[in-house]
Structure 1
Amino acid sequence: MVWHLFGVLILGVCLGGAAFFLRKLTRNRLPKWLIPASAAMGMLGYLAYYDYDWYGFKLSQLPAGTVVVEEGREKSLFKPWSYIHPAVNSFVVVDGKYTTRLQDSERLVEYFEYAFRKDPVERLESRSYVLNCESRERVAFDGRQGRLLGAVEKVSEGDAIFKDACR
């Protein structure tokens, strides 16, 4: 977060300085407002670049075999470009490492889901789940204490986690 703030400030100073240099080269024929406008455009340009590049950068850091289950896109008043084409602000992945067990002639699959969120401070949340492939139901659980954390959810056959875990 601090490095991105540093990058925004550096880019603002560089483009504002370039506009100042152009103004002096033309012997002050260019308007004065060009300097702060160039600095602001540089800062907003970097923020837009980071906003759209975050998702691809995070995916490149994940290990092979990772499956993206869900993507979240949000519009924001402070990001005017998000009204034209919102960037991915959050996504949920499964690492592809499943533990399969048979219990009462039903196949149960245990797996971990990781939720990445890009707020002002990036967050990572992980949860463990048990998926019943026959009844297409899943429930979150605490593996250390062996207790359920939520209600049972239905999973459709077209869901990415069902396709990947119950093949």
Structure 2
Amino acid sequence: MFYETIATLVAGFAGGGLVLLLNKTLRGRLPRWAVPVGAGIAMIAATMANEYGWYERTKSTLPEGFTVIQTVENKVFYRPWTYAVPFVERFVALDAPSLRTHDAKPALRIVDAYLMGRWSKPEKMVVLADCDTGKRAPLLDGASFSAAGDVTGVNWFAADAGDPLVTGICALEATS
């Protein structure tokens, strides 16, 4: 966030400077308000570029094996351009190499999911999915597994058909 603020300020100075140079070239024919308007337009353009570029920049830095399964777009009234083209504010990525299964219960899959937000640090969540029933559960303290692969101590969530988390986990190929 600090670097984006600095970039926005630099863009404002650059935009104002360009209008000032243009005014000098035109021998002062531009109105006095043109320089601050040029600086403001440059700052808004820099902010928009940061907003719309965040998702692709962040996605490109994900380690190999990460798969983005869901994005959340945002529209905000004080950013009217977002109504025309919403920007991605959050997304969920699965760490495919972390996929764990049990030989006796291959439909039960455990994977690390990462919740990434524009202005927040990444959060890791370990998720258990039952691909046969379409249920999922966060793995918290108190969950236990038997030698046969049965799970106890979890709060199952009956996901809707097409739930991106269950669909994404069940689409991963088991490597072990």
Structures share fold, TM-score greater than 0.5: yes
**C-alpha contact (below 8 Å) 1:108/1:133 kept by paired residues:** yes
Aligned match for 1:128, one of 117, 120, 126: 126
**Equivalent-residue separation in structure 2 for 1:160 and 1:24 (angstroms):** 58
Show the counterpart of 1:161.
169
**Equivalent-residue separation in structure 2 for 1:157 and 1:78 (angstroms):** 33
What is the CA RMSD across the aligned residues, in angstroms? 2.2
User: Is 1:11–2:19 an aligned residue pair?
Assistant: no
Alignment of 1:141-156 (within 5 A): 141-142=139-140, 145-147=141-143, 150-154=155-159, 156=161
**C-alpha contact (below 8 Å) 1:129/1:138 kept by paired residues:** yes
Is the partner of 2:123 in helix, strand or coil? strand
Show the counterpart of 1:27.
27
Q: Identical aligned pairs, as a percentage?
A: 25
Show the counterpart of 2:76.
76
Q: Alpha-carbon deviation of 1:123?
A: 2.5
2:128 maps to amino acid = V
Gap regions ≥5 residues in structure 1: none
Inter-CA distance 8–163: structure 2 relative to 1 (3 Å threshold): same
User: Is 1:100–2:105 an aligned residue pair?
Assistant: no
**Equivalent-residue separation in structure 1 for 2:129 and 2:42 (angstroms):** 48
Inter-CA distance 83–53: structure 2 relative to 1 (3 Å threshold): same
After superposing the two structures, state which structure 1 stretch, 22-31 or 6-15, moved more: 22-31
After superposing the two structures, state which structure 1 stretch, 46-55 or 24-33, moved more: 24-33
Residue by residue over 1:106-148, the C-alpha shift from the partner in whole angstroms, topping out at 9 and shown as x without a partner, is 6311111101111xx3331111111112222110012xx3445
Inter-CA distance 111–19: structure 2 relative to 1 (3 Å threshold): same
Show the counterpart of 1:115.
115
**Equivalent-residue separation in structure 1 for 2:135 and 2:59 (angstroms):** 28
* TM-score normalized with structure 2 length: 0.82
2:28 maps to amino acid = N
**C-alpha contact (below 8 Å) 1:94/1:112 kept by paired residues:** yes
**C-alpha contact (below 8 Å) 1:155/1:162 kept by paired residues:** no
Instruction: Name the count of aligned residue pairs.
Output: 162
Q: Alpha-carbon deviation of 1:155?
A: 5.6
* TM-score normalized with structure 1 length: 0.86
**C-alpha contact (below 8 Å) 1:156/1:162 kept by paired residues:** no
**C-alpha contact (below 8 Å) 1:138/1:153 kept by paired residues:** yes
**C-alpha contact (below 8 Å) 2:135/2:156 kept by paired residues:** no
**Equivalent-residue separation in structure 2 for 1:82 and 1:110 (angstroms):** 36
